[in-house]
Amino acid sequence: MSPWPLPLPLGEEPPMPVLSVWPTGQRDPLAQLRDDGCVSGTETDTDRIPPAVAAHTIATYTRPGDLVLDPDCGAGTVLVEALRAGRHALGLASRRRWWTLARANVTAAKTAGAWRDGSVLNARPKVLATVRAAGLIGRVGLVLTTLRTAYRASSPDRDPVESALADLATTLLYCEPLLRSGGHVAVIARPLRRPDGALVDLTTRLITAATSAGLAPVERCIALTAGLRGSRLVTRASLAERRAAARARATGSPTALTAHHEVLVFQLAHDAELAATAAAGNPWPTEDEVIRPAVNGITYPGWRRAA
């Protein structure tokens, strides 16, 4: 858990969490979908979280019976893995196309014998800030979502990466009140490149967005999506990625193929602080010490939420 005090002093940035590697998600992506019984068309969700990575995240950060929320669920791979693991699942789909696919995948998982409490709402993540989400406050064990850029690429007016980051920052702000004490938020993102081939620094941007929403980074993980053959990594890049890499090599700018997904894990700021205090062997803080301005600059009743 995080060893630094929260809230942070003015102007101080949080250090990067300890890095770990998950040897998961290395099987062929289409084989993962097939083995999980996902319906045809799921593969068109190019921003989807690989089923094996979703399953590992759910197994690590939840317990049976927890509620898993994906506020931008796409074709619903997170919901399928949550149901298969015996968790309640709720997804929001921002487009009717994804709502249809996600519902079909949830139905297929239930038919195959998975946990039956799974729902998909045809709504944008902003629904989480309305009265419709009142029943979710303090109930969610894991928010598991990804940075979605594919369908934003069709808009010429905004940079798709910047647009996706801004939308995700808003979503995290809406999700923060829904977390139960001890719950986690996990954001999974594949490496992205600018048109000039430069890698986008997603880690810093995502941590900044989460801390602004009252969350604290507790883990940073690398989920390998490339296969291991002895000491070699065998990438499973898409045809489009391979063509882009070939064009880059032709122009004298070698570009590495994607071999992993970035996983950033957060907790409520006061949860991370209490855990760090306990790990250090210090006395637990009093109520007056915990109820103070949160990292997003607003009064935050941390003690009452932790209770």
Taking residues 153-164, report their average pLDDT. Answer: 74
Alpha helices (runs of H) in 90-139, residue ranges in sequence order: 96-111
Which residue in 121, 143, 119 sits closest to 68, CA to CA?
143
Q: Beta-strand (E) ranges in 94-166?
A: 118-122, 140-146
Copy the structure tokens of residue 46.
Answer: 């190019």
Per-residue pLDDT at 192 exceeds 60: yes
Which tens digits make up the pLDDT trace of 203-229? 999 999 999 999 999 999 988 888 777
- Average the pLDDT over each of 75-89, 183-197, 274-288 and give the range with the smallest value: 274-288
Copy the structure tokens of residue 257.
Answer: 């193929």
Per-residue pLDDT at 1 exceeds 70: no
CA 254, CA 87: separation in Å to the nearest integer? 43
- Average the pLDDT over each of 39-43, 100-104, 122-126, 211-215 and give the range with the smallest value: 122-126
Mean pLDDT of the chain: 81
At a CB cut-off of 8 Å and minimum separation 6, what does 61 contact?
A: 141, 142, 184, 186, 265
Taking residues 283-292, report their average pLDDT. Answer: 51
Whole-prediction pTM value?
A: 0.80
Are 264 and 210 contacting, i.e. CB atoms less than 8 angstroms apart? yes
Q: What's the half-sphere exposure (Cβ side, CA atoms, 13 Å) at 103?
A: 11
Per-residue pLDDT at 285 exceeds 70: no
Return the percentage of the chain with pLDDT > 70, whole number.
77
At a CB cut-off of 8 Å and minimum separation 6, what does 267 contact?
A: 179, 182, 183, 184, 185, 215, 216, 218, 275
